[in-house]
Amino acid sequence: MKQKNVLQGEYVDLVIVGGGMVGLMLAAALRHTGLHIVVIERAVYQPMMSMGLDCRVSAIVQANVNILKSVGVWQYLQDKAGLMTSMRIWDGQEQGGIRYEAAEISEDKLGILVENATLIQALQDTLKESESVELLCPESVASVFWKRDGVEVVLESGQVFNTPLIVGADGGRSWLRGQVDIDVFSRDYAQKGIVATVKPRFSHQNTATQRFLETGPLALLPMKDDMCSIVWSASNARADELLALSDSDFLQELNLEVGGVFGGIADVGQRAAFPLQAQLARHMVRPRLALIGDAAHSIHPLAGLGVNLGLRDAMVLAQEIVDARKFAEDWGDMDVLSRYMKQRMPDVLMTMASMEALHRTFQVQMPAWIKLRGLGMKVLGNAGVVKQLLMKNSTGINMPVPHTIE
Ligand SMILES: Cc1cc2nc3c(=O)[nH]c(=O)nc-3n(C[C@H](O)[C@H](O)[C@H](O)COP(=O)(O)OP(=O)(O)OC[C@H]3O[C@@H](n4cnc5c(N)ncnc54)[C@H](O)[C@@H]3O)c2cc1C
């Protein structure tokens, strides 16, 4: 950690490193507070197009959709998002399965599906309304110097800021996290997630499906205009094999695995693959530093919850900063930052643990275990109150996270 005695440069209230979905969300949540905020993003987002859509998509659960509404992002998204009103999960080997309907928890939908490019653009459009938030892109931080009362941030362009708090929203390989030597616990699943846009034969009827195959889960996510996005997790070797296939051979393999859902898949676009890892930073905060989103934690995408956790980090940190200012506290101080960390840890740890448990449950291929698993899913599918509770947890409805910043 580089120390300096005298802080130089222009004073700003907050510096956010990383203008991905989570970093932009923090800025958007704070944009009406009058705080002077600088977001530093090193690259213009490049969508990976597949049948006219960015094949990197995010399922945003209903509670976070409500957050996007209250923060003012929704108006830029609503015409572009696919709706998810029901979800079917089933085991590829046993016919046991569960169906969730939004109506079971008195909601009109369980969440939405949105291209990452669209969500990033919507967040940037939201920020254009604000004069107190500056997005510097493309721009990078050259160095940071830490002092008791602030951080000096020197950009590659030579511009210098000093701020009471710097936020690392710079993703799983966070550069900022490395600057303070925060180590990570990591778990390599030795899997890749293949993503692509596909066209099913019949309407998806706003239903997301997830099929747990021997090789890993395969999700079909409902996008706009009856298109679907797939996330197919498979061992590295199997994923490389699938990626190397021609479009028509890949389509054939995909149709063998989707089990006739939506009448099968008629067409598939360009494919891309991402290595799957879970990771947890040993510390979410340090004096004058907070980590949010994947910089703090990343999870297996099998339940599509990674960015959802990050959006909740952003909301809780935003509220803590606003509260600290109200009570004339220094928001870079550990007292304030610990409050952020304490609120976020239970959600992060519980989500990570349940992803790990799900992954393990569906990885075991012993016949007796497969039978038990199928039975468990049938019981759960009929367990009214327990099922409702699970649904409320997975849609975030039960989470004690601020929906507006006051
Ligand atoms: C296959 C797959 C499917 C997924 N599906 C879902 C899903 O359905 N739902 C869900 O909730 N999550 C999903 N996720 C997880 C989700 O994509 C991540 O949790 C999310 O992208 C994290 O957002 P972030 O803003 O924290 O980090 P990132 O998206 O990684 O953004 C970090 C930003 O920081 C910038 N940056 C990095 N270093 C620097 C630097 N030194 N200086 C300046 N800028 C920098 C980067 O350019 C980037 O824009 C999925 C992940 C995968 C791999």
Centre of ligand 1 to C-alpha 19, Å, is 10
Both tokens of residue 1? 């950690």
- Spell out the long-range contacts of 356-362 with Cβ–Cβ below 8 A and sequence spacing 24 or more: 356/187, 356/278, 356/300, 358/302, 358/303, 359/189, 359/300, 359/302, 362/91, 362/212, 362/217
β-pairing, 133-136 vs 37-40, is: parallel
Angstrom distance (rounded) from CA 228 to CA 135: 32
Kindly provide the residue ranges of all beta strands, DSSP E only, lying in 272-377, ordered along the sequence.
272-281, 285-286, 289-291, 297-298
pTM attached to this predicted model: 0.93
Identify which of 37, 11, 1 has the alpha carbon closest to the alpha carbon of residue 143: 1
| Confidence at residue 305, expressed as pLDDT on a 0 to 100 scale | 85
Q: 61-119 pLDDT, tens per residue?
A: 999 999 999 999 999 999 999 999 999 888 766 566 788 889 888 889 999 999 999 99
Ligand 1 atom closest to 233 (CA): 1
Ligand 1 atom closest to 275 (CA): 53
Q: 173-228 pLDDT, tens per residue?
A: 999 999 999 999 998 989 999 999 999 999 999 999 988 888 788 999 999 999 99
Domain count, the chain: 1
The ranges of the chain with pLDDT < 70 are 1-6, 92-96, 358-391
Q: List 232's β-bridge partners, or say none.
A: 194, 218
Report the half-sphere exposure of 394 (CA within 13 A, side-chain side).
21
**Which of 50, 58, 113, 277 has the most ligand 1 atoms within 8 A of CB, as the residue to mutate?**
58
| End-to-end CA separation in angstroms for the chain | 34
Does the residue 403 lie in any domain? no
Both tokens of residue 281? 């930073």
State which residues form the domain around 379. Answer: 10-46+121-185+278-394
| For ligand 1, atom 29: residue with the closest CA | 20
| Confidence at residue 402, expressed as pLDDT on a 0 to 100 scale | 86
| For ligand 1, atom 35: residue with the closest CA | 18
Angstrom distance (rounded) from CA 118 to CA 45: 10
Helix (H) or strand (E) holding 58: strand 57-61
- Asked whether the beta carbons of 88 and 74 are under 8 A apart, the reply is no
Both tokens of residue 36? 């002077």
| For ligand 1, atom 31: residue with the closest CA | 20
SS3 257: helix
Does the residue 175 lie in any domain? yes
Does the residue 139 lie in any domain? yes
Does any ligand 1 atom lie closer than 6 A to the CB of residue 195?
Answer: yes
| For ligand 1, atom 4: residue with the closest CA | 301
Does any ligand 1 atom lie closer than 6 A to the CB of residue 309?
Answer: no
| For ligand 1, atom 38: residue with the closest CA | 170
Does any ligand 1 atom lie closer than 6 A to the CB of residue 304?
Answer: yes
Identify which of 112, 114, 119, 115 has the alpha carbon closest to the alpha carbon of residue 83: 112
How many other C-beta atoms lie within 10 A of the C-beta of residue 397? 17
SS3 160: strand
Angle between the 384-394 and 367-381 helix axes, to the nearest 10 degrees?
Answer: 90
Does the residue 314 lie in any domain? yes
Does the residue 108 lie in any domain? no
328 sits in the region (left: phi over 0; alpha: psi -120 to 50; else beta) called left
CATH number, domain of 36, equals: 3.50.50.60
Does any ligand 1 atom lie closer than 6 A to the CB of residue 272?
Answer: no
Supply angle C-alpha 34, 162, 340, rounded to 5.
Answer: 65
| For ligand 1, atom 21: residue with the closest CA | 307
Does the residue 33 lie in any domain? yes
Does the residue 115 lie in any domain? no
| For ligand 1, atom 41: residue with the closest CA | 175
Does any ligand 1 atom lie closer than 6 A to the CB of residue 294?
Answer: yes
Angstrom distance (rounded) from CA 373 to CA 91: 8
| Confidence at residue 266, expressed as pLDDT on a 0 to 100 scale | 97
Centre of ligand 1 to C-alpha 396, Å, is 20
Q: List 10's β-bridge partners, or say none.
A: 161
Centre of ligand 1 to C-alpha 174, Å, is 11
Both tokens of residue 299? 């999870």
Ligand 1 atom closest to 21 (CA): 25
Does the residue 83 lie in any domain? no
Helix (H) or strand (E) holding 63: helix 62-71
| For ligand 1, atom 49: residue with the closest CA | 20
Does any ligand 1 atom lie closer than 6 A to the CB of residue 307?
Answer: yes
| Confidence at residue 259, expressed as pLDDT on a 0 to 100 scale | 83
| For ligand 1, atom 14: residue with the closest CA | 306
| For ligand 1, atom 12: residue with the closest CA | 306
Does any ligand 1 atom lie closer than 6 A to the CB of residue 22?
Answer: yes
Does any ligand 1 atom lie closer than 6 A to the CB of residue 21?
Answer: yes
